[in-house]
């Protein structure tokens, strides 16, 4: 029997692992599969997302503003599918992040897209099927 390939995976380093894990579970619809103080594993059918605690020495230097200041100086942006950008916008705010207003959404490749910021300032994108 051939071995099945593992789903795609990504890691986000976090100051508050539990809060960020809960955020992505709520907003991106991922299931929390395992959670400990220093890491959380989330999954969907096609993605594993690992939230891992930042090294304490580095974490002590990281300041998280409220509301979070977008950290846009990064080469990566995660994109998560959602059924509804409008519903996800509300969930993002309730979970301590934000999604740009509906006027900032754009259509591309059969989807409506919108950028957001998680509770630690990481920029992400959500997309819903257009039509």
46-100 pLDDT, tens digit per residue, is 999 999 999 999 999 999 999 999 998 889 999 999 999 999 999 999 999 999 9
Question: Quick check: 25 and 125 in contact, CB under 8 A?
Answer: no
Q: Smallest Cα–Cα separation from 28: which of 104, 69, 76, 88?
A: 88
pTM of the entire predicted model: 0.92
Question: Quick check: 33 and 41 in contact, CB under 8 A?
Answer: yes
Contacts of 95 (CB under 8 A, 6+ apart): 22, 23, 26, 27, 119
Pairing of strands 111-117, 8-14: unpaired
Handedness of CA 100, 9, 74, 65 (dihedral sign): positive
Give the class (CATH, top level) of 8-56+64-129.
Answer: alpha beta
Rounded mean pLDDT of 32-58? Answer: 96
- How is the chain split into domains, by residue range? 8-56+64-129
d(CA 4, CA 79) in angstroms, rounded, equals 24
Query: CA gyration radius for the chain?
Result: 15
Pairing of strands 98-99, 47-53: unpaired
């Amino acid at each position: 029997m051939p071995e099945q390939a593992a789903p795609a995976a990504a890691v986000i380093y976090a100051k508050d692992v539990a809060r960020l894990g809960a955020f992505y579970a709520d907003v991106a619809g991922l299931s929390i599969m395992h959670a400990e103080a220093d890491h959380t594993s989330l999954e969907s059918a096609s993605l594993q997302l690992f939230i891992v605690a930042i090294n304490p020495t580095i974490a002590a230097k990281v300041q998280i503003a409220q509301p979070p200041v977008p950290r846009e100086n990064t080469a990566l942006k995660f994109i998560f599918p959602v059924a509804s950008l409008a519903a996800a916008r509300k969930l993002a705010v309730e979970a301590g992040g934000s999604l740009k207003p509906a006027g900032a959404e754009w259509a591309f490749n059969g989807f409506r897209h919108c950028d957001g910021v998680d509770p630690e300032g990481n920029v992400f994108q959500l997309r819903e099927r257009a039509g």
